[in-house]
Structure formats: C-alpha cells, structure tokens
C-alpha cells in the first residue's frame, strides 16, 4: 500500500529520495492517458521511478510502456515537481521524498494494456478529470499542461 502526504505535520520523515518521471499523453480526441493505481486507488499519469542505468527520457518511455502498453515519443516538458512537502509512505517502510519530471509525449505504437500496478488504464476526457480521485500533485501537473505554458513549470 501507499499513502501520500502533502504539507502534513503527521507525515513520517523521508528515508529515501527518488527521481521519477511521468507523462501527459493524449489520444486523437484530446483525452488524457490515466491509470488507476492499485496501491492507492487514486488516478495518476503513467510514470514511476528512474532506474540507475537510464536517462530521464528513457525512464518515462519505459514507465509508460510498462503501465499502459503504449510506445511513446517525448515531445516536451510540463515541468519539474520537487516540493519537499510531498511525502509518499509505503507499507514496506520506505518513506519517499520523490521529485518528478513530467513530460508531454505522443503515442508511436503499442496497444492499451493494464499492468499489475493498475486496476484500470484509459483515456479520460479533460472535463471528467476533476471527478476522479487523485492526489493534488497529479492535478497540479494536469493544470500546468492545460494552461499551455510557454515555459515548463520549475518547482
């Protein structure tokens, strides 16, 4: 299981720092590729931790493939998300301070599949996103994407 904290004095102290990537991937109708996480039940952009032997872009390409079945090409950056008030605690004792680099990407191949990390993966219409349960950090990335900023968010 996984529990996310944000600006919460009851959050446990972090015992690891993890680099992670995520991507906003749209279908031809402008719907966003989202996954319902098996460990929290919340909806999230596909993404995850970077491995020691890969680049940031290699990480997001691998994570999107593992979690959705789609091959992608990175097309841009939404932003960097490094807020130390965001803590993720796992049932195995890891308490993570995670920072995330969120990209934009387009699908180049593959087909929709569900991984063991998700209970559902689908494209979600932008108007439906507010109704889905998700952590505030995911909402922030989506808001920045839909603002069509001229520069990536640096935070």
The reply to whether 151 falls in a domain is no
- Condensed to tens digits (0 to 9), the pLDDT of residues 66-123 reads 999 999 999 999 999 999 999 999 999 999 999 999 999 999 999 999 999 999 999 9
CATH number (domain holding residue 19): 3.90.79.10
Q: How far apart are CA 36 and CA 39, in angstroms?
A: 9
What pLDDT band is residue 128 in, cutting at 50, 70 and 90? very high
The reply to whether 154 falls in a domain is no
The reply to whether 121 falls in a domain is yes
Q: What is the pLDDT of residue 94?
A: 96
The reply to whether 68 falls in a domain is yes
Q: Buried b vs exposed e over 109-147: b needs ≥16 C-beta within 10 Å?
A: eeeeebeebbeebbbbeeeebeeeebbebbebbbebbee
Residue 80 · residue 2 · CB < 8 Å: no
Q: What is the pLDDT of residue 134?
A: 97
What pLDDT band is residue 58 in, cutting at 50, 70 and 90? very high
The reply to whether 28 falls in a domain is yes
The reply to whether 152 falls in a domain is no
Q: Which residues span the domain enclosing 12? A: 2-144
Q: How far apart are CA 116 and CA 102, in angstroms?
A: 22
Task: Look at the chain and report how many structural domains it folds into.
Answer: 1
Find the distance separating the first CA and the last CA of the chain, reported in whole Å.
Answer: 27
The mean per-residue pLDDT over the stretch 28-56 comes to: 96
Burial class of 65 by CB neighbour count within 10 A (0 to 12, 13 to 18, 19+): middle
Mean pLDDT of the chain: 96
The reply to whether 76 falls in a domain is yes
């Amino acid at each position: 299981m996984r529990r996310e904290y944000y600006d919460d004095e009851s959050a446990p102290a972090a015992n690891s720092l993890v680099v992670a990537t995520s991507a906003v991937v749209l279908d031809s109708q402008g719907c966003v590729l989202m996954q319902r996480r098996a460990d929290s039940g919340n909806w999230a952009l596909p993404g995850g931790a970077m491995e020691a032997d890969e680049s940031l872009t290699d990480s997001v390409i691998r994570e999107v493939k593992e979690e959705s079945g789609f091959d992608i090409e990175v097309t841009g950056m939404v932003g960097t998300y490094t807020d130390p008030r965001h803590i993720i605690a796992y049932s195995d004792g890891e308490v993570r301070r995670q920072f995330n680099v969120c990209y934009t990407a387009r699908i180049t191949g593959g087909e929709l599949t569900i991984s063991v990390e998700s209970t559902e993966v689908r494209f979600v219409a932008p108007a439906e996103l507010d109704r889905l349960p998700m952590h505030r950090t995911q909402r922030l990335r989506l808001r920045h994407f839909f603002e069509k900023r001229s520069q990536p968010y640096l935070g």
